[in-house]
Amino acid sequence: MAKVFIGVGHGGKDSGAVANGLVEKDLALSMALYCKAELVRHGVGVKMSRERDEDDRLSEEIRECNAYNPDVAVDVHINSGGGDGFEVFHSRYGGVGKTLAKNIEEEVKKIGQNSRGLKIRVNDEGRDYFGFIRETKCPAVILEAGFIDSEDRKIFDEPDEQRRFGVAYAKGILRTLGIAWRPDNDSTVQAAIDIIRKKAGLEQQTIDYLLAYRYAKDLVIKLAAAME
């Protein structure tokens, strides 16, 4: 079984970037959970650095990633600084990490987000600057969906838009792993889940428990209709 590690930027006391009523740690978690769901649907093993709002130190992320020994790893973030567009960092050494970055970038552009490109960053010693890329044992990339403090936020500020980013990330990962993407014919159920999350403010873990119910599909559709 192919395995993927998903790092979720910030968490707990570390909110990450905050602007326009949006918080990076929450947006990153939402996108990461959607990405996980799509990967799991395709039979991929997934471990996340966190699945709720809790302290999530980078050193712990790296330790968990290396212990899991995945084929590839991604770290989900939201940018700030008043810019525009998606960008992805990969190792200066290229290889599978660069391929992963390119595949994800192509999928993100398909959902309407422009790209600032594939990037590397090195430290004074000429090594990869970011610990998540430098210290993980597998090919790893850092994903910056867009800018929280500019008009760019409008492409990811709603749950359904966050789902599109998560699915785009998953598609790029799947392509890198050599796994063909299968369309999800249950879009009605997913739309209902998005409504419930937005209206009731439920965490993904609660949604997961709900979906374990025998008649979950009918239930979420009825709940969403009642909330509209």
Q: How far apart are CA 66 and CA 138, in angstroms?
A: 8
Q: How far apart are CA 225 and CA 228, in angstroms?
A: 5
Give me the half-sphere count of Cα atoms (radius 13 Å) on the Cβ side of residue 92: 11
Distance from the Cα of residue 79 to its chain's centroid: 13
Q: How far apart are CA 142 and CA 140, in angstroms?
A: 7
CA distances from 17 to 14, 28, 77, 159 (A): 9, 11, 9, 18
User: Do the beta carbons of residue 17 and residue 79 sit within 8 Å?
Assistant: yes
User: Do the beta carbons of residue 100 and residue 161 sit within 8 Å?
Assistant: no
Q: How far apart are CA 82 and CA 10, in angstroms?
A: 20
Q: Which of 24, 38, 107, 144 is catalytic?
A: 144
* Tokens of residue 227, six digits: 């909330």
Q: In what order do the strands lie in the sheet with 72-79?
A: 45-48, 3-8, 72-79, 140-147, 86-89, 115-119
Active site residue 228: no
Looking at the annotation, which residues are catalytic? Answer: 144
